[in-house]
Chains A and B, each alone.
Chain A
């Protein structure tokens, strides 16, 4: 039992913790917090979902161009109406976004502009137009500029019930759209030519996809703003891609990552003043991206580099064993020890790497280091060396006899494949070649130890 003084101290800490924003956030005392959090989560989810298709079509930056293209529409809606009815602003944004998408399509199709230039042109000129309109409004003093500016950086903290209703309705609409047209979107994303060949209306499907992106952008503008909306479309998809090769899983993960970063953005901005929600959402999603980039098991950088290092190590070891086997073959005595210098000459390996490799081989019992510092193959080492030489020569023979490649062109290929060939393939090669004994260069093919 703890002394009562400690208990009292613990109690004050607990009370302080319960009052800190880290905890009070989860009590959702204010209805505002709920709206903001919900809005961010819905946005992150839908943007992640829709962005995945844009990502797979290699049009990640379309979202960026679209979100800038919405600017004149928002400005025009303000100018005509002045009020802040979210549906009207949304309509303006949708129309000008859509026009932007059409212009991009037209520039790429009918002029010699490349796709990246078309994106850049629409992005900057539409944005210029929007700025012209918004500064005009500002100078004439018709409507308050503050309301307009909130679309640039987004003002998630200002989300009210109506906004969240709009977000929610459109979010459901878009998720349904993706579900209904899943098969068509999938085929157009991965192989547009094939889609066209099977008679699918690819242009209409592309258009539907572009429209969905436009919708996603428009609902995102209020929450994260023009520039950062692009991040919510690209980054969750890019992060999800590291974890899977399946589209359905990728969509699910991208939506999850988007939703989670939406939640994190809302949470962090609750913690302190001057913590803008949108940018924190983007920082959160990028952190998740970096995590995936480095550590995702199959496609992540660290596991991949690790596998590459392991393979290099294996290759270096096998090369040494094979060289020693060939030394033995040339004097028909596999027990004779050899120096490091012999190996350096035969393999042109860097000396430190060679030393490391030799030490590893000795440790694993494949090599024996004699008292004079020379090396000879152990029994298992000899078997491995023989098998590698066998694979090497089988492959050379296969290339010359079956693929009719000149004997002096086959060595390099065999040098690579010998590390990869499986016993199964070895058996098939032996069958194909009728249990061969001599390779194309006249050397003896060692008998298989296992097969």
Chain B
């Protein structure tokens, strides 16, 4: 398999895993919480780096997961006990954690192998050269890029989560009051979802970086949201659009010699733009053509 195909595959897997949980963020109007979490995991990752001294995925997952949940929790606490509006609570929390993360990065540079570019833009271009190695009786055997295994596993985990919890997630997303009255633990599902968002963010982090995770979490689900009214269709469409963005994004990045992750984000934005104008029911064009005509009082009579 050529490097290009590996990169496209990784991009598509990142897009799929993000889109699956992103749909629920979009529906619950928590899009910016995805942004907040993807920034706030930075100190968790740095600390995990510092303490484990390696780029092992498990400590990173734990550190970042903890920070992600901390963000969701702090936002909740600030807005509930501090009577602060939700968006401001989120803004205060994640910028604070991100600032701490940046301070830690600049304190520990040299001691840990973590550079800012990797955190921001990811290094999907180098992913094919970091193979997953298995210890067998014949020694180390390399089986495809590490990122494919990691993001692939995350996609499967998210898929399992969405399929198994579909009923609950759906009710919580559309009518949390109804969900509560049906005896569903809305708070628990909220935090489980946040946990999955954090884990997905970390898994995608290495490949696409902190900020572009947000593009994958929000943009394809929103594009799908413009195209359909059914949750199941929205999930499938957003995964498809994410995968298509990966292909187109790789093309863009290859053509102009830029970052692939950024190319994917731009491609996702391009598809969203198409949907904004040409969506069959909610597109601007259709709405413009079907706009109600003004009828003068004489004509009405």
Contact = CB atoms under 8 A, between A and B. Distances in A.
Given A119-B32, A121-B222, A238 B257 contact: no
A112 B31 contact: no
A48 to B, nearest CB: 13
A280 B99 CA distance: 7
- Contact residues of A: prevailing secondary structure: helix
B215 A64 contact: no
B87 A58 contact: yes
A132 B252 contact: yes
B96 A286 contact: yes
Given A124-B211, A231-B92, A132 B32 contact: no
Interface stretch (A30-38, A134-142, A368-376): A134-142
B84 interface: yes
Given A112-B225, A238-B88, A282 B284 contact: no
B293 interface: no
B212 A128 contact: yes
Interface in A77-124: 107, 110-114, 116-117, 119-121, 123-124
Task: Please indicate which of the listed interface residues B99, B225, B263 has the most CB atoms of chain A within 10 Å of its own CB.
Answer: B99
A278 B264 CA distance: 30
A23 to B, nearest CB: 23
Size range of the interface on B?
35 or more
A257 interface: no
Contacts, number: 207
B222 A125 contact: no
Interface in B246-301: 252-253, 256-259, 261-266, 268-269, 272, 276, 282, 284, 287
Contacts of A188: none
B208 to A, nearest CB: 10
B210 to A, nearest CB: 9
Interface in A117-158: 117, 119-121, 123-125, 127-133, 135-136, 139-140, 149, 152-153
What bracket does the count of chain A residues touching chain B fall in? 35 or more
Interface string B166-200: 00000000000000000000000000000000000
A238 B84 contact: yes
Contacts of B261: 128, 131
A132 B262 contact: yes
A395 interface: no
Given A112-B225, A120-B31, A61 B91 contact: yes
B11 interface: no
B130 interface: no
A112 B282 contact: yes
B219 A110 contact: no
B52 interface: no
A64 B35 CA distance: 10
B219 A136 contact: no
Contact of B82 (A114, A120, A283, A301): A301
Given A114-B29, A120-B32, A125 B99 contact: no
Nearest to A282: B99
Interface string A297-318: 0010100000000000000000
Contacts of B35: 61, 64, 120, 123-124
B30 interface: yes
Contacts of A230: 91, 95
Interface in A262-303: 274-276, 278-280, 282-283, 286, 289, 293, 299, 301
B236 interface: no
A131 B95 contact: no
B26 interface: yes
B265 A237 contact: no
B256 A132 contact: yes
A136 B262 CA distance: 11
9 contacts: A59-B87, A117-B29, A125-B268, A131-B262, A139-B257, A283-B100, A286-B95, A286-B99, A293-B78
